[in-house]
Structure 1
């Protein structure tokens, strides 16, 4: 299972109709787009999927649709976290794990727990989860950073905590985890822009935003880096970096939805409080997509 979660995971966006309901037709197109272009697994109900704006019924419908559409053609990871430890445990106890390979659980946000609080939060989640757990450290969104020592303590003590998605952007912290982790523990990049150097340092892959739009090119970059073909990995990395930077310059997932709309894969509809990127950013994204096409990089 851990081997299957190496490489490129895609943090799927949730397409919406203009009136705000889930656009399952576009979601099906997106799923086929990513799977057919070589990604290794899909992540459902992550931050990029605007999960915080979905009702419980919508989440259940989305889970079922993705399972049916994927039909076991690739592994699936489900986002399941929160700032109320007991509520996460309650959700795990009623969750049907069939069709999923792991859960991705973000550090508690808003209440800013200590490192001891983070450790105990994940200890209880690991004990309750019917599936392996991937920790998710994204201090830019949660206002709390899980330090390397806490991640390593959890990795060493709980067999079903199988990896961490690290989106701290702190290269020293991430390399400390890589250097001292258990052998099979996955260190997964949570930032598209530093995925190539992190793999060079020993990371196992990425859970990507840009791979919604460019699954083939980004997967090729990841695979080249994992295989030690660093010249090819660098070439693709530097081709994609301007677009990656643009996608995050005015909020995410606003940027990736702007790109997917330009490519006519997913309409550019979001739920408040997330809004569309500004016109200048949209124009920049459109021009960068055109430049990539001119350079032979297709969606």
Structure 2
């Protein structure tokens, strides 16, 4: 899966002031990421506010990104949930021909055991006609997919090809890197530790901040993959403060504020999320303008 090496970005869903999808802004976001050097695009991940989109809106987002991308970059689609039967049904009925893989989150809210997580992804694997990227994000799911479960899945199912590891635990990521099958990819799901994960043997990152600063962030990952450590860390420390800021009051409110400052989208999120407060907006404004001025 060479197409999953480097920087992927979990695309936002831009909204207008009336909370409808802003298709023109979505087009700008996609082109901004592509022009900035991103390696692949992830549609309908958590950052897309997927949980608040209707089925019709999801189809609109998918169709728009496919159209704008026009085959330029590989595409990954978020297909996951906490109802295994519904996920399996979607995988069996959806046209996935435009995608190189699906990104499937570990079941949330139900708090399954490790065996339950294994059986869920066994069903996902057997239903999916394309490769599967596991997604471990305990901060959202309330359960941690342990390395032993990930490795069991990676060894048992050929089409489970990668994990987006977003536990925020570098030691856990290194356990996966040490013991994984040769061709299985460990992809960071945490922007702040993406570079250390890459330097430890990871394949790259599925990023939030990468869509706001695609040139700098994707170059950092490429430098890391090429073992140009000092140059990579210069870019890491350049962006580190902003990585903290964009998650300070929730995702994607922070990254949407960055896009608003850049003039690409309005910062509109759907309830129960709210936009960042004036203090954080001011700090982000200062940071973004400093980056723009120096590049």
Give TM-score, length-normalised by structure 2.
Answer: 0.99
Q: Secondary structure at the match of 2:192?
A: helix
Q: For 2:102, what is the secondary structure of its paired residue? A: strand
Tell me the distance in 1 between the aligned counterparts of 2:129 and 2:57: 22
**Secondary structure of 2:41's partner?**
strand
The residue number in structure 2 matching 1:6 is 5
The number of residue pairs the alignment matches comes to: 295
> Runs of 5+ in structure 1 lacking a partner?
none
Instruction: Give the Cα separation in 2 of the matches to 1:288 and 1:66.
Output: 29
The equivalent of 1:181 in structure 2 is 180
Number of the residue aligned with 1:130: 129
Question: What is the correspondence of 1:135-146 to structure 2 with a 5 Å cutoff?
Answer: 135-146=134-145
Looking at structure 2, the residues matched to 68 and 28 of structure 1 have their Cα atoms a distance apart, in angstroms, of 9
Query: For 1:209 and 1:73, how far apart are their aligned partners in 2?
Result: 20
1:227 aligns with 2:232: no
Question: For residues 62 and 94 of structure 1, what CA distance do their matches in structure 2 show?
Answer: 18
Offset of residue 292 of structure 1:
2.1
Q: Deviations over 1:160-179 (max 9, x none)?
A: 00000000011111101000
The match for 1:21 is 20
Name the SS for the 2:150 alignment partner: helix
Q: Secondary structure, in 3 states, of the residue corresponding to 1:14?
A: coil
TM-score (normalised: structure 1)? 0.97
* Deviation at residue 291 of structure 1 after TM alignment: 2.5
Residue 190 of structure 2: aligned partner: 191
Q: Write out aligned runs for 1:100-179 (5 A).
A: 100-179=99-178
Corresponding residue of 2:199: 200
Deviation for aligned residue 1:25: 0.3
* Matched residue, 2:266: 267
Residue in structure 1 matched with residue 213 of structure 2 by the alignment: 214
Distance in 1 between the 2:17 and 2:289 partners? Answer: 26
CA distance in 2, matches of 1:192, 1:265: 21
Q: Distance in 1 between matches of 2:292 and 2:52?
A: 34
Q: What's the offset of the Cα at 1:288?
A: 1.2
**What is the rounded CA distance, in whole Å, between the counterparts of 1:129 and 1:6 in structure 2?**
21
